[in-house]
Amino acid sequence: MEEIILTINDLKKNYGVKTVLNGVSFQVKRGEIIGYIGPNGAGKSTTVKIMLGIEDDYSGEVNIFGHDLSDGKVEYKRKIGYVPEIAELYDNLTGHEYLTFIGELYGLDYDLAEYKSKSLMELFGIGEVYHSRISSYSKGMRQKLLIISSLLHNPELLFFDEPINGLDANSVMIFKEIMTQLAAQGKTIFYSSHIMDVVEKISSRIILLHDGKIAADGTFNELKQKNTEGSLEQIFNELTGFSEHKELGSRFVSVVREM
């Protein structure tokens, strides 16, 4: 039987009077790569933060590894890796210091944390800055460091929020391969991004959040059959009822030209 890793049932979340999530439900099985997409402000990061226990004050059920988050226990986090959309890194540390610190926080002994940090940085093409301060890293190098830090403890469930921000085309190919191989080995990945062609190619299932509810949930082929025959970008436009990009673009440029 396929193992359920994650269950969300009738999840609702308000910020003040604003309803962000209005009855979101889905289940995720071991080994799935979920592409979690939706317009800006749809509530994707909010859903992820609730699952990570960073945001509370929600209604509905959130169950991870068979454990309901409302019991307040945090042990489940040991088996989770997270790349946030926006992250603060300790700029004064070197990559080596940062990653061994994170590895030890996750319970790895120092030698293993050091070995994995160095190897993973080398394999991701940033081995030469292992002993440089993070303040000197480029945007893509910082992003790679974040990805490595989310994986050091070999987690079962990964939350990636715009993980390929700033990565060059070759590095994106490596990252896609890493995701595919992790999923093939039974890791579950919850992947939130606006880069539709990557989501289309990498996800075993796509969930589209719109107006606080799930507007679509299925494989890319299932979504194509139910909607436009075309790219995920076209399906996204159709399901979110958006067709004014040309008109909005030209009105935007008209205002720019006003002097």
Ligand X SMILES: Nc1ncnc2c1ncn2[C@@H]1O[C@H](COP(=O)(O)OP(=O)(O)OP(=O)(O)O)[C@@H](O)[C@H]1O
Which residues here bind ligand X, judged by CB under 6 A? 15, 20, 38, 40-46, 85
Strand arrangement of the beta sheet that strand 205-210 belongs to: 80-83, 157-161, 188-192, 33-37, 205-210, 213-218
Tell me the closest approach of the beta carbon of residue 16 to ligand X, in angstroms.
7
Q: How far is CA 177 from CA 38, 73, 121, 151, in A?
A: 24, 33, 16, 14
Q: How far is CA 196 from CA 158, 199, 237, 240, 243, in A?
A: 19, 5, 11, 14, 17
Using the minimum distance from each CB to ligand X, give the nearer residue, 20 or 129: 20
β-strand 4-15 against 59-64: which pairing, if any? antiparallel
Using the minimum distance from each CB to ligand X, give the nearer residue, 46 or 94: 46
Tell me the closest approach of the beta carbon of residue 49 to ligand X, in angstroms.
7
Tell me the closest approach of the beta carbon of residue 131 to ligand X, in angstroms.
34
Using the minimum distance from each CB to ligand X, give the nearer residue, 42 or 141: 42
Tell me the closest approach of the beta carbon of residue 21 to ligand X, in angstroms.
8
CA-CA distance, 191 to 91, in Å (whole number)? 26
Cα 172 to chain centroid, rounded = 14
Tell me the closest approach of the beta carbon of residue 42 to ligand X, in angstroms.
4
Using the minimum distance from each CB to ligand X, give the nearer residue, 45 or 188: 45
CA-CA distance, 64 to 188, in Å (whole number)? 11
Using the minimum distance from each CB to ligand X, give the nearer residue, 19 or 234: 19
CA-CA distance, 63 to 4, in Å (whole number)? 10
Residue located via tokens 């679509």 = 216
Using the minimum distance from each CB to ligand X, give the nearer residue, 245 or 257: 245
Tell me the closest approach of the beta carbon of residue 166 to ligand X, in angstroms.
15
Interacting residues of 89 by C-beta distance below 8 A, sequence separation 6+? 98, 134, 142, 145, 146
